[in-house]
Structure 1
Amino acid sequence: MTIDSGILLESGTNELEMIEFEINQQKFGINVLKVKEIIQPLPLTSIPHAHDNILGLIQLRGEVLPVISMARALNMEESDKQRASSKLIVAEFNMQKVVFQVDHVSQIHRISWSDIEKPGNVYSDANHHIIGVIQMLDEMILLIDFEKIVVDIQPESGIHMGKIKSLGKRERSAKRIIVAEDSPLLRNLMKETLSEAGYENVNFFENGLDALEYLRGIVNAGKDVYQEVQLVITDIEMPQMDGHHLVKRIKEDEGLSRLPVIIFSSLISDELRHKGEKVGAVEQISKPEIGELVLKVDQHIL
């Protein structure tokens, strides 16, 4: 099954198409925008000394791709019976392709980000993979941090502060930046890297709704928002309000519309770039290109 992720939804509606899949009868979800296609298992080539979560390599239309066991990545049991009837989800994000092996793929749901709840505190720290919970009738579907699964296997694919050290010592502390990012791991890494780049006055929010309410609170207090905040950075995938909808709401608000907004997301690609352009983002940068993000912040900050 091939997924046409470029046209499923209009930009800025605060909705997503989610593919439901199962592991050990537990239901999970992945954003359709991450998925290229869903295929039957292909012959695997084992990799000596590979990470325990990697099952091997497959060849798909001339590309050699790693296959990750979602059961192993989530510390769940796997059996030969499950593997025999499994499906492969071919995904693309962070400018790379990877394949996830799951037990079963069931259906696609269209839901609002406002219906996605933040997981409890025990699952919301930087060491866990659950980023959202969806209650559907009598079932619970868990949204997975697929980027973290890949970074756990290949740490060099994540954000590194060393990528911006070549910029040298800078003083940017007078500039305030608002960041909307739901991942605790990414918030910590962005705080370190932006501080290293001289941007020490940064406010972080777990989703777009909290960031928007903060900005509107400045306006409602009678303050000049453009003196208080100079730039907004947002992820796309976030519970309550996604990044595209946040940009749209900022640009439609007379008191906020001149704020430059940069989208920093694993979902930036040539196929999906038009979504950010349509809602008014000044730049769209793919994770983990933190060096490029800092350069664009320098360029657009007021």
Structure 2
Amino acid sequence: MEQKGVLLESGTNELEIVEFSVANNKFGINVIKVREIINPIPVFSIPHAHKHIEGIIEIRGEILPVINMARVLGYPDSDLPEMDKYIVTEFNMQKVIFHVHGVDKIHRISWNQIEKPTNLYQNLDSQIIGVIRKEDGMLLLLDFEKIVVDINPETGINPNRLKQIEKRDRSQYKIVVAEDSALLRKLLSDTLSEAGFHKVDFFENGKDALDYLETAISQEPDIEKAAQLVITDIEMPVMDGLFLTKQIKEHSTLSKLPVVIFSSLITDDLRHKGETVGADAQVSKPEIGELINVIDQLL
């Protein structure tokens, strides 16, 4: 994990996935979110904790919660708990440990190899954000942000964070948002509307957003008639936000558009990735109030 962010250049539309198992089922997590992988150590249980919280442990002076992924996914506990692994993660400005049954290998893939779940098994409550086909089966990418928010809603986007924002008319501005999570698209739609932004076009991935912008300027050279600003997540199937940002900033016309990366992956260690591709600003989820402040500064 020490080399994460070094192996992959920013804006290549590639990522590395840590493959792990829970009850013989295969799942994946972006290497960028992983701080380290450790063997099980004693967990201190917490009275009246959420059913998915196994307890807390101390790692190098930090007290971190342990989420039991078998409970989250509705699977039985491990038959060989001494062989289990703890995945120590950092995203959304917090550190969380996920208790899994095994860690297998790291895969380097392109975002366009990740298929979006179909409506038959994916909805607002789904924990699956992508499917990777492999020769020996499938690997499911999980929405770890949603897993944490379901346990503690205060860690998610909260419209109450907008109370400090200056109330004024922002309806003249048109914004394009690339965000693959249906839940977050709805939350962003509600909060941007509350802030006064009523002209917002949402897209499920970077490619759809880029296609929209390129089509718009082919019909009308004035880009401001299509959008005045782009907000993008980083992790998205087909085309990620870093690659989208790079494509916009290298385009002769679109490069004028301010791009704000709004992602759970904005940390001191990873901020350089957005800077490399030319992002005008980067805001960590769930700081929606800060996002509005940044938008106001750029418009």
Q: TM-score, normalised by structure 2?
A: 0.98
1:80-159 correspondence to structure 2 within 5 Å: 81-159=79-157
Q: Secondary structure at the match of 1:194?
A: helix
Distance 2:205 2:191 in 1: 20
Q: Secondary structure at the match of 2:249?
A: helix
Cα shift at 1:82: 3.8
Identity %: 59
* Residue 224 of structure 2 corresponds to residue 226 of structure 1: yes
- Aligned counterpart, 1:62: 61
CA-to-partner distance for each residue in 1:27-51, whole Å, 9 max, x for gaps?
1000000000000001110100000
1:1-302 correspondence to structure 2 within 5 Å: 2-79=1-78, 81-301=79-299
- Alpha carbons of 1:82 and 1:152: their partners in 2 closer, same or farther (altered >3 Å)? farther
2:157/2:288 contact within 8 Å kept: yes
| Structure 1 residues not aligned, in runs of 5+ | none
Q: Secondary structure at the match of 1:135?
A: strand
1:225/1:255 contact within 8 Å kept: yes
1:225/1:256 contact within 8 Å kept: yes
Q: Secondary structure at the match of 1:257?
A: helix
Cα shift at 1:149: 0.5
Equivalenced residues, count: 299
Cα shift at 1:168: 4.5
Distance 1:205 1:15 in 2: 20
CA-to-partner distance for each residue in 1:140-175, whole Å, 9 max, x for gaps?
000000000000111101110011123253211110
Q: Secondary structure at the match of 1:123?
A: coil
- Tell me which moved more, 291-300 or 121-130: 121-130
Distance 1:184 1:111 in 2: 24
Distance 1:173 1:222 in 2: 21
Distance 2:68 2:196 in 1: 40
Q: CA RMSD in A?
A: 1.1
> One-letter code of the match for 1:42?
I
Distance 2:81 2:176 in 1: 44
> One-letter code of the match for 1:222?
E
1:124/1:184 contact within 8 Å kept: no
Q: Secondary structure at the match of 1:17?
A: strand
Distance 2:44 2:187 in 1: 34
CA-to-partner distance for each residue in 1:37-89, whole Å, 9 max, x for gaps?
0000011101000000011111111111110011111122224x243321000
Q: Secondary structure at the match of 2:115?
A: coil
| Structure 2 residues not aligned, in runs of 5+ | none
Distance 1:263 1:168 in 2: 22
CA-to-partner distance for each residue in 1:170-209, whole Å, 9 max, x for gaps?
2111100000000111101000110111011100000000
Distance 1:34 1:210 in 2: 25
1:165/1:196 contact within 8 Å kept: no
Q: Secondary structure at the match of 1:122?
A: coil
CA-to-partner distance for each residue in 1:226-277, whole Å, 9 max, x for gaps?
2321000000000000000000000111120110000000000111111100
